[in-house]
Amino acid sequence: MKVLVANTAGFCKGVRDAIDITMDAIQKRGNNESICTYGPLIHNRQVLATLEEKGITAVNRIEDCADKKVVIRAHGIPPGDRQTLHQLGARLLDATCKRVAKVHAAIKQHARRGFHTIIAGDADHAEVIGLIGYAEGRGRVVNRPEQIDDLPADWDKVLLVAQTTQNEEVFHRIQERFLRRYPHGVVKNTICGSTHERQAEVRRLCREVEAMVVVGGYHSGNTVRLAEVAREAAIPTYHIETQADLKRQEMARYSLVGVSAGASTPSWIIHDVVQFLELIEPENGDIRFRARRILGTMAYANGWVPLAAFMLSFAAFALTGLPGTASESVMAALYLFAMHSLNKTLDRGAVELNEPGRAAFYERWKHVLAVLSFLAAAGALVLSLRLGLLVFFMMLLMVILGLFYTGPRVIPRSLRDLSFLKMRDIPTSKTLFVPMAWAVMLAVLPNLPDLPDVPGRILFGSWIVFLLVFLRTALLDLAAVRGDRLVGRETLAVTIGEARTVWVLWGAAGVLIVTLVAGPPLSLSTWFGILLLPAVAVFGWTLRESCSSKFKQEPLFETFVESILMGAGLLGCLWNVVAG
């Protein structure tokens, strides 16, 4: 099935800010400090469940917020509730969406001048409850144009505003009726620009697709509005919370489906829905779908990691000009497969959020993957012994460090609380430690006996491998940043943010280009380094494309990124054949 995904689908800025504020509070939480949100932070059950696992509960009774650090939900709260929270000794973190806060200010300003306020929205919605609190007792809520006629006609000062997620067409009809009844009334279209763009994009998509899938909470106002917009276009519309709400047989009737999502819908849920739809195989058994399924299985089984490592080792050999063997390449591939598999199968929290499909695969095959990981680590140790005791003990140290990093389930209980073993908690740890491990395995360990004789070439080769794998790892981390942040995974994108990470990647690509060009004249590498420049260019193109496409086709995106390293390794094989 072909799927068209709305560019505007997923978290809006207000929701991102609310989650970031909450996650910062978790990170800075003191001993015995209690943190809660006054009401659900956002309208998404999956995100709220994740926050609850971290000890952040949604409190609905204001009395239960006493003496706690309280995050004000993105929808905002009435001013009276804010005063009560202060009186109860609560310490407030305001995560109110800035767009909603502007509506608060507009209502408050006009209420002080004696205006009555009419709010176009849903009376029982959290945002509207907060808005009505600023009207100083002169506020009314309507959600249909004809309700305007039920309001007193003698009001001389009247303000009309909208719930920020209101259906734009409904608001315009309410506005027309409002101005007929109150010709001198003041109208402020306070519908969020993000809401307007989402609804407009859904209308455009509905003209191109056979059916529309809208992803988001059933109690999310903006998601409900998107589903209404799609139904108004007279095409089959499916409002779902997760992929589990879709029926494969029913969706198989369509060949082209559009997907949009509410402002509080996490990217990992949208990814899962898109992937589910894309993997629905047509009745004619199109070979493209079978190929995509095979590629996906390879990615889920971490099959690309050992292949990429095996191939990239030949690029390292070609770069340093030092002799290498297939046995050394297999040794590196086995070690990296073992560590990647253990890390992902045990790190269930981030995987479940970022890629539910992969999490389901791991749950089904976890015992097989665990056995394969153990055998791969043992195989790497056996192969390292053939290179001498020094290499063996170095490999043994790498295995131990990898196990400590992987997680508490693989280390003795008595050692789990030692601070120096908590490498996962170091900021940017994953993004940096992964390329460091690749650099050691591909460039240092195979050449360890020659290190005293040619330290420059070996260190130069490990630096190039580090930069290549750094680009690869950070690109994959960017695709998983929201899920990683929610579970506390310390990647570069989580630590410094997505925008800064993109600039760091561009800087790393620039450093890599300069280093590759400078290596041969300085006798630090062979001229093979020049042949690696196209790989850097492909990384740059991938970075640019991934920034403009919010929902990459997982796991095909991972397959493509790993193929860049495999391509670099293929060039190394050709170089070694020609040079040899």
Task: Give the active site residues.
Answer: 127
| 96 phi, psi to nearest 5 deg | -60, 130
Per-position b or e across 377-410, b if 16+ CB within 10 A of its CB? bebbbebbeebeeebbebbeebbebbbbbbbeee
- Rounded distance, CA 262 to CA 226, Å? 7
| Separation of CA 480 from chain center | 3
DSSP label at residue 442: I
- Rounded distance, CA 242 to CA 202, Å? 19
Q: Which two tokens stand for residue 231?
A: 């139904």
Question: Which is it for the CA torsion 23, 24, 28, 33, positive or negative?
Answer: negative
The answer to whether 296 touches 361, Cβ cutoff 8 Å, is: no
Using only the alpha carbons of the chain, give its radius of gyration. 28
Q: Which two tokens stand for residue 531?
A: 């042949």
- Phi/psi zone of residue 217: left (φ > 0), alpha (ψ -120 to 50 degrees), beta? beta
Closest CA to 428 of 536, 338, 514, 505: 505
Closest CA to 480 of 382, 355, 306, 309: 355
378: Cβ contacts below 8 Å, ≥ 6 apart: none
| Separation of CA 232 from chain center | 31
319: Cβ contacts below 8 Å, ≥ 6 apart: 460, 461, 464, 519, 525, 526, 528, 529, 532, 572
329: Cβ contacts below 8 Å, ≥ 6 apart: 309, 310, 313, 314
Q: Which two tokens stand for residue 179?
A: 């101005």
| 165 phi, psi to nearest 5 deg | -105, 20
- Rounded distance, CA 362 to CA 352, Å? 10
DSSP label at residue 352: H
Ranges of beta strands (E only) in 32-129 are 35-38, 57-59, 69-72, 91-94, 116-120
Question: Which is it for the CA torsion 372, 406, 384, 301, positive or negative?
Answer: positive
Closest CA to 84 of 105, 111, 102, 66: 66
DSSP label at residue 41: S
